[in-house]
Amino acid sequence: MAILVTGAAGFIGSNLVRHLLERWPDRRIVGYDLLTYAGHLSNLADVMDHPRHTFVRGDVADRESVAKVFAEHDIDGVMHLAAESHVDRSIVDPMAFVRTNVVGTTVLLQEAARAWEGREGVRFHHVSTDEVFGALGAEGRFDEHTAYGPNSPYSASKAASDHFVRAWHETYGLPVVVTNCTNNYGPYQFPEKLIPVVVTRALAGERVPVYGRGENVRDWLYVGDHCDALALVFEEGATGETYCIGGDAEATNLDLVGMVLDAVDGARGAAVGTSRELIEFVTDRPGHDFRYAMDIAKIRAELGWEPSVGLAEGLARTVDWYLSHREWMEEVQGDQHREFTDSWYGKR
């Protein structure tokens, strides 16, 4: 069996490729990625020569390229993670998100349906986000029945892609499953996202930006737990169903930043709390959702999954990984990343 993992050179994708190669010794993994600013072959360096792993550079929105990978590698399953995913970038360039997240998903769906016509034992797993549901108040959690209410170009593009996946299932009978997850963190996360931003800036002694007053709340999911859940849903999830995946680890942005800074201090042998002086409150971004939290009762009851890594442990692991992989951080922080980050936070 050959599984196509799109976005394989990104953060979650590269972690998933490793997880699947270890978990599924009888399956081939075909990684597929365009290698834009957030996708790097260095994320897959340790598995590039694995006998059951093949990497293909390609664009999910390029129908010819997608059709070719289905034909040449006899794909049986798709785990679709390729996406533009940074909310701040979606505010600056929303059309890039429409192309990759909406057009790219529909191209994949169309080519999967063509390649798998009359075939059994196939599955299309679409990996999405909790942001499609909009924002919560101080109480309650999202679940599989929550109405969609996206508030950013990023979340709107992911909501659209979710709907197209369901449409291909209902209209064409494509066997699909959908997962919506909370904020991921862990090794290989691109340095524009909150936790790596905090780590890299703290190490450099630079100001650490926090939107507004840092009161926005997120539920944090360690990437290894997410990969375990994704594989389990692919293996055992009911066709046509959605599963919400979360870490049961809510924290305000300010509390999270403080925890990360304390972990950096501890790992460097500095007095814990020293780096908190670097925190700088910046103008909140437009449409910043107040709170996300996920009810994971369905995946827990039906598939027996629940997160195994608590937030404190996960942050410690993550900070240790970044501190021992500074060469990776330098390699992936190219000029395009630096220019965007400096200009964005500079104007907030």
**Helix or strand run (H / E) with residue 165:** helix 153-172
pLDDT at 337: 47
> Among the options 59, 131, 219, 250, which is catalytic?
131
Sheet containing strand 217-222, edge to edge, reads 183-185, 217-222, 250-252
How many distinct structural domains can be found in the chain? 1
**Strand duo 2-6 + 77-80: pairing:** parallel
In the chain, the DSSP E strands lie at: 2-6, 28-33, 53-57, 77-80, 123-129, 176-181, 183-185, 208-211, 217-222, 242-245, 250-252, 279-282
| Nearest Cα residue to 189 out of 33, 341, 342, 333 | 333
Rounded Cα distance between 300 and 297, Å, is 5
Please provide residue 128's backbone torsions phi and psi, each rounded to the nearest 5 degrees. Answer: -125, -165
> Among the options 32, 111, 154, 188, which is catalytic?
154
Give every CB contact of residue 227 below 8 A, 6+ residues apart in sequence: 12, 15, 16, 19, 20
Q: How many CA atoms lie within 13 A of 90 on its CB side?
A: 23
Rounded Cα distance between 291 and 136, Å, is 5
Q: Is residue 319 included in any domain, yes or no?
A: no
Q: Is residue 141 included in any domain, yes or no?
A: yes
Cβ(20)–Cβ(48) under 8 Å? no
Q: Is residue 122 included in any domain, yes or no?
A: yes
Domain that holds residue 126: 2-185+222-245
Q: Is residue 217 included in any domain, yes or no?
A: no
> Among the options 84, 88, 111, 130, which is catalytic?
130
Rounded Cα distance between 92 and 340, Å, is 10
| Nearest Cα residue to 292 out of 245, 237, 259 | 245
Q: Given phi > 0 = left and psi -120 to 50 = alpha, else beta, which region is 237?
A: beta
251 forms bridges with which residues in the sheet?
A: 218
| Nearest Cα residue to 107 out of 39, 166, 165, 178 | 165
222 is catalytic: no
Residue type, 60: V
Q: Is residue 261 included in any domain, yes or no?
A: no
Q: Is residue 284 included in any domain, yes or no?
A: no
- Return the CATH number at 6: 3.40.50.720
CB under 8 A, 24+ apart: contacts of 325-334: 325/187, 326/203, 328/42, 328/188, 329/191, 329/196, 329/200, 331/40, 331/42, 332/40, 332/42, 332/43, 332/190, 332/191, 333/191, 333/200, 334/37
**Which string of DSSP letters, residue by residue, matches 52-104?**
TEEEEE--TT-HHHHHHHHHHHT--EEEE------HHHHHH-HHHHIIIIIIH
Sign of the CA dihedral running 263, 268, 273, 274: negative
Return per-residue pLDDT of the chain as tens, 348 residues.
Answer: 899 999 999 999 999 999 999 999 999 999 999 999 889 999 999 999 999 999 999 999 999 999 999 999 999 999 999 999 888 899 999 999 999 999 999 999 999 999 999 999 999 999 999 999 999 998 999 999 999 999 999 999 999 999 999 999 999 999 999 999 999 999 999 888 899 999 999 988 999 999 999 999 999 999 999 999 999 999 999 999 999 999 999 999 999 999 999 999 999 899 999 999 999 999 887 878 899 999 999 999 999 999 999 999 999 999 999 999 988 988 887 644 445 445 534 443
The number of residues making up the chain comes to 348
130 is catalytic: yes
Q: Is residue 293 included in any domain, yes or no?
A: no
Q: Is residue 213 included in any domain, yes or no?
A: no
pLDDT at 334: 64
72 is catalytic: no
